[in-house]
Structures are given as structure tokens and as C-alpha cells.
A and B are shown apart, each in its own frame.
Chain A
């Protein structure tokens, strides 16, 4: 018990309202009023002119993934499969191999993310012990007309740069 009950008087019982027709015209007047006002001057519209005007993405926005590199250009990912293990939609597929660049012993030979199945939860980023996978590309529109091209590969992810400088990214994820 204890829920507050408020009785609201039912509107629309008068004769004029029961006619409906008059109310329809009153509604149309409001709609048309907005229509013509915006047609003549759209400077006060609360609408973004996408795609001419792009939305501003904050550094902590989870966009499409990328794989990062060390300063010397070597791949940070060590193919530990933590992201694959943590991924709730099971959409990361990694194949690992030997590595000889002195960074580590292991690296990914194949690293696929099926973006059709990804739910952009960011668990992969959180699981990564190397800060090797990030979702800071600022890419929010991932579209295609065929399934195959929705599988993101190793090369593609290494090629895409981050959209933010390091400081604002770090501030965003902290």
C-alpha cells in the first residue's frame, strides 16, 4: 500500500468535442502553423542536417573497432583471446601464430569481428590486457549491402586511426 492515487477528470465530454470535426481542424491548424513557419525560416529547427552536419562523438562513444600499435608500429595485440572469451555475442574469431618481432611470442594471423553480430557492448575493449583493441574510431555508421563485407578483418582494423587524441581518450575511458 501507500501508492498515491490521483483521479483525473476525463476530458472530451462536451458536445463540441464529441463532434470531432472541429477538433480535427484545430489540430491541423497547429500542424500547418509549424509547417509554414519552418518553411519560411528553418534557422530555429531542432533537427540536425545529417549527413551534411555530422554529430559530435564523445571520446567514450563505442564506435567501430580498431587494433592499435606500439610507437614503433608493431601490433599491440598478442592474440591472448581475452576479447574473444569475453565477447557475449561470440562474434570475434582469432587465429594466432608465432611472432618474431621481439615484442612477444604470439600475434594474431587472423582477427575477424562480425559486425552484424556485434552489439557494441565494449566488453572486448575492457578485457584486453594490452589496450590493443579500442572502439574509438568515431565510426558509428556501419552499413553495407552484403554480409561478407560486414566482417571486419585484421588489416582493416589496423589501418583505421583513432578519432581522438590520447589524453581525451584516456579521460573518456577512465
Chain B
């Protein structure tokens, strides 16, 4: 537990964490101090002056909250008429040359300037000279589009490229009303985290080319989720919406703060991976290439499983612990060899020392926890021996490298349980559609052994079943996530004291100190 200090805000005593600045400390107890330039990941810059608060009997009596640590006995004034006037004046200053493009601005609805105008300003412009015009719709590269007129010069974007990516593509040139954010000529943004700038820009000056104009943000339903783009398991918001007469479609992923996993940011590839959730989905049940109802597909699969002498089951390293457990159980039921061979998911050298990892599978640690063999030799041997391969959404051709298995795969009868229409699944005689990660919930373990839980977000019209449901239809005993846990607790020592509903939102680190994190 962090050390707490008592201080006064508008005469009322509050207890806050010591060591934090006033903005962060008071935010925890529900008191907002308006600010533009401060961002917890980038530190205080002190350039916007929106966060000025009064300190009663203080020397000086007026301080920027972003640079002032919470101290015991401090008497913070927020409601004071002087402070309100300062806030009004700063807002007036910010809006002197602001185009107020809100009708065509993607930020409208989640714009700090709009919100602060309503809460702290609400005054008409007194300017009667022509506004300063700057450049709009500047392509800064990496899918970031900049509007210089809307910029409030908080320098968050500049600090992001200097402190976080250390690439320093952005800078502010000129002074006063001519100041503008820009890139060096011919040197656009070039880093794998650039789209975070769109998230951290408090106004609509940085927009995403990909999301631009596609939807107004107030229509979007914003559900928490976990990115399945690599084994880091970054926390995201899944922003989706069902347009009238349309299907539930994901419009964007955004970073969700989790200091234990990804901090405040996510990588661009993960951010754009929402597209694979919308596109190229396998929604039809196929038996010998003919579309049939799911029940018929299940019958066909059951028939094959019952007749197979040596079935082989292949699981995906993206599947949740619960799904892996359910598959493991039916593998035992049918006497099948179980493999988690998935070298194709590892792109050696693609990772970096920040968030991106080489391994593009979301739950490989889970695969290892459940003691599922992932070796290539054993898989190749089992494949040569098997007369039926049941593939649970493992894309063997995610990346090149498995061409030598092609022949053995062609010689084996296959049942594919898959969420996407991909070459690895299309050869199967029975294809059963299943849900993808935005459409089911479960628990996964990331590369640092952090166990995280996520819930279902999207509900498409096709509504394919979860893999667990498919294992149940194939004769398994596990019918939902909750029923997988007694078995998981019993057979996996690291999970023996885990109750999924007690996993905190930021996840729990396994092995090292499981006792301290979750009390049984």
C-alpha cells in the first residue's frame, strides 16, 4: 500500500497517495484538474498552464498542478473565482485561432477542448481580426494525419517521439501564433508505435488515416479486450458498432492502460489487427465443400472421429486456457495425440525491446502450462502416423516454414475448426466455423507470465460458436469457461489457487508470487 497524505481541496479534507502530482493524486478521488500537456506516460512539461491551481497561504500562491506533488496539509483551491478566471482565460487563449471544426473533426465527442469549453469556459469569442490559418490534412506518415490549426501545442506528440519511441520525428517550429508541429522535410514518422500519437493528442490535431471519417465516436460501443497480435497481450478497447441494417463491425482498437502489461500504449500492428476480426471470416459449415447446417457438420466430424484409428488434434497457441483444457479433454476421450505445434507463429527478429515480441501467439505460455507438446518432430511423426487431423484454429501457414509438412497434410483426412478462411484450413473435408477472440471470453497468459481475463465484446450476425461449445458438441464434458476451471486448478499447479472471477483487471503474475496476488 502506498503512503497516504491528507490535504484540503476547496476546504474539504481528502486522503491521497503521496508522491504523485496533484492531477494524478486528486483524479483517484474523483477531482478533475483540467490539463492539456501533462500525460502520465510523458511527464509534466508545464507548457499549457491549464492546470494552474491556487494554494492557500502558499509561496507561490499559484502553481501548475502537474508539477506540484501532493503534500500533507496543502490547501488546494480549485473553485476560487481567481482560478476559474485563469481557466477561462487559458481557454480563450487556446481558442483564439482554433478553427472549431467540430462537425468534421474526428475528435468531436472525445475532445478535451470541447469538454473543457463546456466545463470551464462557455464564452463567446471576442476576436474580431481574421484567424491565423495554417496547414490542414498533412500526411505525417504511418497513417497519422495532422491538422495544424486544431493543435493546442501541448507537445505531447513531440515528447512521445522523443521519450517513448526515441525517434524524434516531430518538432515544434516558430513561435507564438506561428508555432506549429511539423516533421523534417522528407522525414515522415517512421516507428512502429506512431498511431499512439492519435490517442494522446488531447484534440483533433492528430487523426488516424485508417479511422478517419469512418464513424462518429459517440456511436461506438467501447468494450475492454486484449490484443491477440503477439504474446505481449496488450490491453485494448474494442470499439465496435452495429449500423442500422448492418452487422456488428469493429471500427478500431485503442490502447487501454495496464501498467503491469503494456503501460499506456500499443503497437500499430496490433492497433490495426482489428481488421482481421472483420474480414475473411469462416462463417459457413462445409462438408466436402458443400455448405450444410452446423449440426450436419458436427455429425460428419463425429463420424470421422469415431472411425479414426489414430486421430491427431492440433490446438492453436492463441486459444484460451479454457479452450485448451476443453480440447485436451476430448483428445483424451478419443485417444487422440494432442499437439500445439505452432512454430509458424514465431517471427524471429520481428520483436523489439519495448512491446512487440517475436511470438505472434497470444497464449503460448498457457500452452506450456497445460503441458501440451509443441515440438515439430513429434508433430511430424504423429501426422505421418495419423489418419485424421482435427485442427482447432491453428494456422500452420501463418508464416512460411512448414512447406515440408504439406505432403503429409495432404495425405491426411482433416477436420478444421476455424475462425478464418485460410489456406491452412481450406483442405479439410469438414470445416466448422468458430468464434474469434473478440467474440468469446477467457483467460490467457502472456510472455511475462501475466494471466489476464477478457470478456466477449462483439456479437456478429453469423455468431459462430466458441471452440468450447464445439468440443461439447463433439462429446466433451466442458460446456463453458467456468466448468473448465476445476479441472485446470487440479491439473496445473500454477493455476491451483486461481479463481477466474477474482483475477484483477490488470491481471496476475503466475508462478513467482501467486500466493500474494490471489488469496484462495
Residues of A within 8 A of B218 (CB): 85
- In the bound complex, CA of A91 to CA of B245 (Å): 10
> Any chain A CB within 8 A of the CB of B482?
no
- In the bound complex, CA of A129 to CA of B103 (Å): 8
Instruction: Say whether B213 contacts A80, CB under 8 Å.
Output: no
Instruction: Say whether A96 contacts B103, CB under 8 Å.
Output: no
Complex interface residues of chain A between 89 and 142 (CB less than 8 A to chain B): 90-91, 93, 96-98, 104-106, 129-130
Query: Which one of B213, B219, B243, B245 lies within 8 Å of A97 (CB-CB)?
Result: B213
B 266-293 binary contact with A (CB < 8 Å = 1; else 0) = 0000000000000000000000000000
Query: Which one of B136, B213, B243, B245 lies within 8 Å of A96 (CB-CB)?
Result: B213
Query: Which one of B213, B219, B243 lies within 8 Å of A98 (CB-CB)?
Result: B213
Instruction: Say whether A93 contacts B214, CB under 8 Å.
Output: no
- In the bound complex, CA of A130 to CA of B104 (Å): 11
> Any chain A CB within 8 A of the CB of B244?
yes
> Any chain B CB within 8 A of the CB of A78?
yes
Residues of A within 8 A of B243 (CB): 93
- In the bound complex, CA of A98 to CA of B214 (Å): 10
- In the bound complex, CA of A82 to CA of B214 (Å): 15
Instruction: Say whether A93 contacts B213, CB under 8 Å.
Output: no
Instruction: Say whether B103 contacts A105, CB under 8 Å.
Output: no
Complex interface residues of chain B between 134 and 171 (CB less than 8 A to chain A): 136-137
Residues of B within 8 A of A105 (CB): 101, 104, 136-137
Residues of A within 8 A of B102 (CB): 80
Residues of A within 8 A of B212 (CB): 98
- In the bound complex, CA of A47 to CA of B207 (Å): 60
> Any chain A CB within 8 A of the CB of B216?
yes
> Any chain B CB within 8 A of the CB of A79?
yes
Query: Which one of A80, A90, A97, A98 lies within 8 Å of B103 (CB-CB)?
Result: A80
Residues of A within 8 A of B101 (CB): 105
Residues of A within 8 A of B219 (CB): 81, 85
CB distance from B488 to the nearest CB of A (A): 44
- In the bound complex, CA of A97 to CA of B244 (Å): 19
- In the bound complex, CA of A105 to CA of B245 (Å): 27
Q: State the A residues within 8 Å of B (CB).
A: 78-82, 85, 90-91, 93, 96-98, 104-106, 129-130
Q: State the B residues within 8 Å of A (CB).
A: 101-104, 136-137, 212-214, 216, 218-219, 243-245
The 8 closest A-B pairs by CB, nearest first: A80-B103, A106-B104, A96-B213, A81-B216, A78-B104, A105-B104, A78-B103, A129-B103
